Amino acid sequence: MGRLSISCLLPASWHFSLSSTGFPRLLNPTFRQLVVISTAAVILLLLIYSLLMTRTKYSSSYLDRKYQRYLARVTDMDATDTSNPNINYGIVVDCGSSGSRIFVYCWPRHNGNPHELLDIKQMRDQNRKTVVMKIKPGISELSSTPEKASDYISPLLDFAANHIPKDKHKETPLYILCTAGLRVLTESQQEAILEDLRTDIPVRYDFLFSDSHAEVISGKQEGVYAWIGINFVLGRFDHIEEEDEAVVEVNVPGADNKEAILRKRTAGILDMGGVSTQMAYEVPKSVSFASSQQEEVAKNLLAEFNLGCDAHETQHVYRVYVATFLGFGGNAARQRYEDHIFSSNMEKNRLLGKQIGMSEDAPYLDPCLPLDISDKIQQRGHTMFLRGTGDFHLCRHIIQPLMNLSNETQTTLNGVYQPPVPYQNSEFYGFSEFYYCTEDVLRMGGSYNSTRFLLAAQDYCATKWSMLRERFDRGLYASHADLHRLKYQCFKSAWMYEVFHTGFSFPSNYGNLKTVLQVYDKEVQWTLGAILYRTRFLPLRDIQQENFRGNHPHWRGASFVYNHYLFLVCFLVVLLSIVLYLLRLRRIHRRMQRNTSSSALWIEQGLQSPGLTNGL
């Protein structure tokens, strides 16, 4: 009869054997062996499961998200695949003061998650160039001939129609949004131009275009769209995925439950142009007002909106403060400064009987110009001669009255209401003059440090103009820096510093301002925010189709993890059942052994005969 024995370097009592008659011994380990084997199996299983989960969570999810974000930025530069039927398109025309530009955007089919936004990008042609076109002059030039508005804009729409597949035209939304170009006109002039567009465009083109798609937007809307565009590119509307991500506690406006929620911290925007300065940032907490008048003013500066496709969901509800300060841009501020010193100097000359600044031999000493530079101001038929002294700190002191600060609480430039900024948990991006002032000449764009900036600006102002010209001729400054920038860099540096720290009240040790020209190597336009907001309900169509087909979207990560835990519990239950079953078999086997031993003893005793015994 065959027998198979298995031995290993284990305690002597650990011996298993299999035979045709002894096979039940496999089911007869000791209790200690059962406990050790079961415990080892459970521990091994848990270790394997933990390793798999850890690898899936950190190696797969974390690294995949990193890779996907990187890949999205890289592939964002690829040509748009116009043969893909799942690509959708959208058009925004920006009718500005100096001209009009058309932007063509595209996005893939929505993934079905109602908490995520459309993945909108700028369309790129076969040469990987963004599909953008600009025409001049501005549409405001048609104020006396509004019937030519559709002819004026046709080259832009023809350009877009040639890039978008023809079978996609009927489902491609078109928005014509006019900014400063039409705000300067009267309401009747605005409506005449818009009416011509609303009448002729649906006849000439098949784009998805209704009367509400052509309008004049306010400065507040433009600021909100710019804020949306920047934060979308930065990924601040995504879900919290990593533990080290900056988050903020938000009291969602309009929410039924008043409990605060945690979500990604959004970035504020500071944009100082030539004429105006704009500020936009999220106000995460509910605000209180010093007076009813202040509350009334605040209503015009605070915008509450929902970026999500479901009006009942509050995940993408935001409260944003937007303020535009006309006359506080870099060039406009310099003009106001020159008006101020001209008037005050003329009045001082009249009272004291002097002629300061009236000749090159007795110039007005301007602390806001580089050392020893000569300049002049012409006003009211008079010429005032200037000579730079390059005194940065005196320049800061002189320009402070130009900010028209108020003694009221929660106010900023020009006495305008400003809700508190959470300086300890906030981040701002500075564009235009914030970038030019720090980078073009001082070469310190990026992360802003007030101490370093002060020292660099002070040193620049105190440098003789002849030395600055020599550095310029040697190409030591940014390629787009010109002599105009060099001449007024001292003033604009002081103005930027005072607006940021005195006007907007940012502390001198604030370390979360980044001065940039682009975000992820892209110039982000407010038109991106406009199409994101205006197409926010489009995902509902894809979500309904997904639900109709009964698909299970891949984004149900919580269900995925839950199923793994359920599997583990089921496995442990099965393992416990096996152990209990083995124990039961062991008891049965022992009873059988006892019965067999008794029978064998009885048979052995019964075979012994007295005669044989006596013979032995």
585 domain-assigned: yes
Q: DSSP per residue over 380-441, as a string? A: TTEEEEEEE---HHHHHHHHGGGG---SSTTB-GGG-B-PPP-GGG--EEEEEHHHHHHHTT
Q: How confident is the model at residue 522 (pLDDT cuts 50, 70, 90)?
A: confident
pTM for this model (two decimals)? 0.76
**What is the arithmetic mean of pLDDT over 288-316?**
86
Residues 596 and 551 in one domain: no
Write the single-letter amino acid at 81. Answer: D
Average pLDDT in the chain: 84
In a shared domain, residues 137 and 221 = yes
The number of domains in the chain is: 3
Token reading at 448: 């802003």
pLDDT given at position 31: 60
Q: Would you list which residues are annotated within the binding site for ATP?
A: 274-278
Q: What are the binding residues? A: 274-278
Name residue 193's amino acid.
Answer: I
Indicate whether 347 and 418 sit together in one domain.
Answer: yes
My answer on whether 496 and 393 are in the same domain is: yes
For residue 185, pLDDT over 80 is answered with: yes
In a domain, 32, yes or no: yes
Q: Choosing from 222, 282, 498, 546, which is the catalytic residue?
A: 222
Same domain, 41 and 135: no
CA angle 333, 433, 502 (to 5 degrees): 60
Which pLDDT does position 545 carry in this prediction?
Answer: 60
Report pLDDT for 609: 43
Is the pLDDT at 18 greater than 70, yes or no? no
State residue 32's pLDDT score: 60
Model pLDDT for residues 87-139, shown as the tens digit of each residue: 999 999 999 988 999 999 999 998 888 888 999 999 999 999 999 999 999 99
The answer to whether 400 touches 501, Cβ cutoff 8 Å, is: no
The least confident of 237-241, 306-310, 599-603, 607-611 is: 607-611
Instruction: Give the Å distances, CA to CA, from 191 to 146, 214, 308, 367, 586.
Output: 9, 10, 31, 48, 93
Query: In the Cβ-directed half-sphere of 1, how many Cα atoms lie within 13 Å?
Result: 6
What average pLDDT does range 471-492 have in this prediction?
95
Question: Which H helix or E strand runs over 99?
Answer: none
Same domain assignment for residues 172 and 65: no
Integer distance in angstroms from the first to the last C-alpha of the chain? 32
Please indicate, yes or no, whether residues 595 and 497 belong to a single structural domain of this protein.
Answer: no
Q: Is residue 551, in this structure, part of any structural domain at all?
A: yes
Does one domain contain both 97 and 70? no
Is 18 in the same domain as 147? no
Segments forming the whole domain that contains residue 574: 1-75+556-604
Instruction: Give per-residue pLDDT as tens, 349-370.
Output: 999 999 999 999 999 999 999 9
222 is catalytic: yes
Q: In this structure, are 498 and 578 located in the same domain? A: no
Q: How does pLDDT run across 135-145, given as a tens digit for each residue?
A: 999 999 999 99
- H/E stretch holding 4 reads strand 3-6
Give the residue carrying structure tokens 């003013």: 297
> Residue 407 pLDDT more than 60?
yes
Are residues 375 and 503 both part of a single domain? yes
- Rounded Cα distance between 91 and 108, Å, is 15
Do residues 419 and 504 share a domain?
yes
Tell me if 327 is assigned to some domain.
no
Q: Is residue 253 part of a domain?
A: no
CA distances from 155 to 133, 152, 203 (A): 9, 7, 15
